[in-house]
Amino acid sequence: MPKIKLSQRTIEIVKEICLSFENNEGELINVLHEAQHKLGYLPAEVQELIAHELNMSIAKVYGVVTFYSFFNMLPQGEFPISVCMGTACYVRGAEQILHEIKRQLNIEVGQSTPDGKFSLNCLRCVGACGLAPVVMVGEKVYGRVAPQQIRKIIAEYQEGCVRPEKHEM
Amino acid sequence: MDMINLTIDNRPVSVKRGTSVLHAAAQVGIKIPSLCYMKLEDLNIENKPGGCRVCVVEVEGRRNLAPACCTDVAEGMVIQTHSMRAIHARRTVVELILSDHPTDCLKCAKAGNCDLQSMAQHLGIREIHYEGEQSTFREDTSPAIIRELDKCIRCRRCEMMCNEIQSVGALSAINRGFNAVISPAFEMNLDHSVCTYCGQCVAVCPTGALTEVDHTGAVIRALSDPSKTVIVQTAPAVRAALGEEFGDEPGTLVTGKMAAALRRLGFNYVFDTDFAADLTILEEGTELLNRLTAFLGGDKNVKLPMLTSCCPAWVKFFEHQFPDLKDIPSSARSPQQMFGSIAKTYFADKIGVNRKDLVVVSIMPCVAKKYECSREEFSVNGNPDVDFALTTRELAQLINLANIDFKSLPDEDFDHPMGESTGAGVIFGTTGGVIEAAVRTAYEVFTGKKLDRLDYTELRGMEGLRHATIDFNGLPIHIGIAHGLGNARKLLEDIQQGKSHFHAIEIMSCPGGCIGGGGQPYHHGDAEILKKRQMALYREDSGKPIRKSHENPYITKLYEEFLGAPMSEKAHHLLHTEYFDRSKS
Ligand code: SF4
Ligand code: SF4
Ligand code: SF4
Ligand code: FES
């Protein structure tokens, strides 16, 4: 994993988040959530810092980050695409959807496109089983998606979209 | 007492409330199989994840089978441990584990000592009815430990040892489902992590997933090279455990047979680390007295308490976790390294052999000693003071390879001059032993008086944290003892916060001290074995004609002929060391 040096601002943000949870080890999941929300992803250096602030081992923090699929260790694309892999979605063809997205963007799960536009992740059940199979792009939910629609969905974001504001590390 | 009555396999049982079904059954001689569960009685070590489900039993009135290790007894419970359903479930569980396990038994380092293998035998598994994907994890080799996680059954014993007992935090369960495994952060190699190489994960791993790096091949090569003089040293705790590998009762002392076996293996000189333990006492004891005297003289800069420094896992622990305290431990090298240093100078000169042609092998109860002897500061122009450190288990392997019938060996003595030792050197192998040895010498040197008793029973025992006050002629010396790094952490935090009132503290990483080391014959969760080894060392001590390090005539001679005095410039150069801040790496 390439080493990055966290900016002073990032360090402050992470420390503030930890402090807002009273540096309590039991709040790790909430701390990670908040950090990912603010920073976009959780690189190793951020996990190390959180471990230090909460006075717990880095291995444990990493264990939690890798246990839950909604945490990302790699920078997300401008438009993070998530495919729900919950039972309902799976049964209704989520795997074909995933395959199609991988094919079109030419990336694997967990990666982003070289231009930084899209990244791809799987999710456990998002609770929209009635709409299965479900794909999310950023916060936007697409229900009853068929593989043939993927090209159109991706095209929506290819150009002319406002860049969402994201903090720089 | 609050007793609970129940029936297990049609037999009435009465046990204390809060007892698990597993332990209740054991009390009436019913041994329910268990795999992930492990308990070391009296050492406060218990692994109870309830994960493997090998221990399932039938409880009347309950629809599901219950895991015996984590189900408490209840009044009137009726339990069947060997109903058809329970046996079937148990077999299914083990078959499923085996379906994702390499079929390496014939050449696995753990074969014959593997709990999974014995479980498959115990349950009479002859076929695996399930087929599935096989995990493939990258093998990870460090200076001391090999991780082969394809053999991991996720019992999480290692994780428990590393976190709860050692408080090191090198390992954690990561990922989920099929990819779940126990690993250092970011799946980095162990040697990039905060691991201390204490080897306690290896000591409890039920399978071949965690083993020590095998150096037996390198030692055989050295032994068959006519241009090399090969000498060996054996740590105190080895003699109290080696016999177990050959079927002896735990606690059998095999000092004489061990010396005989090493001679038959072809070592040119068979020496004893206990000799170096005596040397350690003179250096470390003198350092303690110097610091004490300065302190009593009002020197505000002197660092107290002084911490022992013979355990390499403990050294690596404070280098990572308490670098601000790195001036507090004694600067004395460990006995293994003092031995190597003296062997490759004083002894090499004596027998007229160049250090490059002298190979020093040590037999250790320890996994971390492999790492210690590879540390750069313990070598001269790339030639290490100690070339190879073998575990007790590896020595047993060598003895078998050499067709030696261990049990029929005669008792033999160590060679001179580095084979002579005192009772004080012997007890280095148990928690409390190093500090008791130091007290015997420091008292006499400090007070100028003869001790009227040698057995400091107040320093002995198995509690994780102990303390005692020893009267040095009117001056009360406060002594602390910790074994297990989690216990050591507590004493260190007290020191950081200025709350420690101790003058000297002994720390050993392994529960029980080196007798419970990561390189010892596997204890399979039986703490009695550790206690018996401890008793054996005290027995060896009390049978020794000389029991104080400063009375070892060969140590006296070493100072006269070579070193001058304890803490002399030469002694400093050869027998002391410095520590490094590893918190950033
Ligand atoms: S050797 Fe000790 S410190 Fe290293 S991983 Fe094992 S238990 Fe943890
Ligand atoms: S490495 Fe060994 S001790 Fe650790 S979880 Fe796997 S099988 Fe259990
Ligand atoms: S206590 Fe002994 S066996 Fe354990 S790591 Fe320390 S030196 Fe090695
Ligand atoms: S031994 Fe009881 S669940 Fe593993």
pTM: 0.90
pLDDT, residue A162, reads 46
Interacting residues of B44 by C-beta distance below 8 A, sequence separation 6+: B464
Three-state SS annotation for B209-227: CEEECCCHHHHHHHHCCCC
Determine which of A109-118, B337-346, B510-519 has the lowest per-residue pLDDT on average. A109-118
Closest Cα to residue B364, out of B336, B344, B340, B399?
B336
Counting from 1 in the atom list of ligand 2, the atom nearest the Cα of B149 is: 1
pLDDT at A166: 53
Of A56, A59, A67, the CB nearest to B170: A59
- Please say if the pLDDT value at position A1 is more than 60: no
Overall average pLDDT of the A24-47 stretch:
94
Residue nearest to atom 8 of ligand 2 (CA): B155
Q: Which domain holds residue A30?
A: 8-67
Instruction: Choose among B175, B176, B185: nearest Cβ to A59.
Output: B185
CATH for the stretch B115-212: 3.30.70.20
- Alpha carbon nearest to ligand 3 atom 8, residue: B366
Q: Give a yes or no: residue A111 inside a domain.
A: yes
- Per-residue model confidence (pLDDT) at position A110: 82
Residue B585 is predicted with a pLDDT of 65
For residue A109, is it within any domain?
A: yes
State whether A145 and A92 are in the same domain: yes
- Looking at the structure, tell me whether residues A112 and A147 fall in a common domain: yes
- Which is it for strands B181-183 and B210-212: parallel, antiparallel or unpaired? unpaired
Render pLDDT for B407-440 as a digit per residue (tens, 0 to 9).
999 999 999 999 999 999 999 999 999 999 999 9
Rounded Cα distance, B262 and B299, in Å: 49
Q: Which one of the listed residues B52, B155, B310, B311 is annotated catalytic?
A: B310
Say yes or no: A3 contacts chain B, CB-CB below 8 A: no
Distance from CA of A69 to the nearest CA of B (A): 9
Is A25 inside a domain boundary?
yes
pLDDT digits over B491-539, tens only?
Answer: 999 999 999 999 999 999 999 999 999 999 999 999 999 999 999 999 9
Mean pLDDT over A110-134 rounds to 86
**Section B291-317 average pLDDT:** 94
Q: Residues B70-126: pLDDT tens digits? A: 999 999 999 999 999 999 999 999 999 999 999 899 999 999 999 999 999 999 999
Domain B3-82 has CATH 3.90.1200.10: no
Q: Whose CA is nearest to atom 6 of ligand 1?
A: B201
Type of residue at B106: L
Ordered by start, the domain boundaries in chain B are 3-82, 115-212
Best mutation target among B140, B162, B167, B172 (most A Cβ atoms within 10 Å) is B172
Residue A168 pLDDT more than 70? no
CA of B390 to the centre of ligand 2 (A): 23
Least Cα separation, residue B411 to chain A (angstroms): 48
Distance separating the N- and C-terminal Cα atoms of chain B: 53
Domain boundary among A19, A37, A67: A67
CA distance to partner chain A, nearest, from residue B330 (Å): 28
Closest CA to B47 of B206, B160, B194: B160
Which residues form the pocket of ligand 2, taking CB atoms under 6 Å from any ligand atom?
B 152-158, 182, 204-207, 209-210
Would you say residue A169 lies in a domain? Answer: no
pLDDT at B131: 84
pLDDT value of residue A125: 78
CA gap B182, B140 in Å, rounded: 12
B170: chain A residues, CB-CB within 8 Å: 57, 59
Residue B282, pLDDT above cutoff 60: yes
Q: Rounded mean pLDDT of B243-263?
A: 98
Question: Is A99 a domain residue?
Answer: yes
pLDDT reading at B397 higher than 80: yes
Cα separation, B351 vs B416, whole angstroms: 12
| A26 domain residue, yes or no | yes
End-to-end CA distance of chain A: give it in Å, rounded.
Answer: 16
Give every CB contact of residue B404 below 8 A, 6+ residues apart in sequence.
B261, B264, B265
Stretch 43-82 of chain B: residues touching chain A, C-beta under 8 Å? none
B85's CB contacts (< 8 A; 6+ apart) are B58, B65
CA distance A85 to A134: 9
* Least confident among B36-45, B370-379, B507-516: B36-45
Indicate whether A62 and A87 sit together in one domain.
no
Strands B145-147 and B140-141: antiparallel
Q: Is residue A73 part of a domain?
A: no
What whole-number percentage of chain B has pLDDT above 90? 95
B308-341 pLDDT per residue, tens: 999 999 999 999 999 999 999 999 999 999 999 9
* pLDDT attached to residue A76: 82
Counting ligands in written order, the one closest to the CA of B212 is 1
Asked if residue A129 and residue A87 are part of one domain, the reply reads yes
Number of domains in chain A: 2
Within a domain: residue A152? yes
| Peptide bond before residue B184 is cis, with ω within 30 degrees of 0 | no
Residue B394 annotated to the active site: no
**Is the CB of B564 within 6 Å of ligand 4?**
no
Evaluate whether B457 touches B287 at the Cβ level (below 8 Å).
no
Q: What 3-state DSSP class applies to B80?
A: strand
A33 and A89, same domain (yes or no): no
**Which numbered atom of ligand 2 lies nearest the CA of B156?**
5
CA A46 to each of CA A6, A112, B175, B191, B321: distance values in angstroms, whole numbers, following the listed order: 8, 20, 18, 22, 19
pLDDT for A74: 84
Q: Which residues of B touch A48 (CB under 8 A)?
A: 185
CATH code, domain carrying A121: 3.40.30.10
- Please provide the average confidence, as pLDDT, over all residues in chain B: 96
| Alpha-carbon gap, residue B207 to B212, rounded angstroms | 13
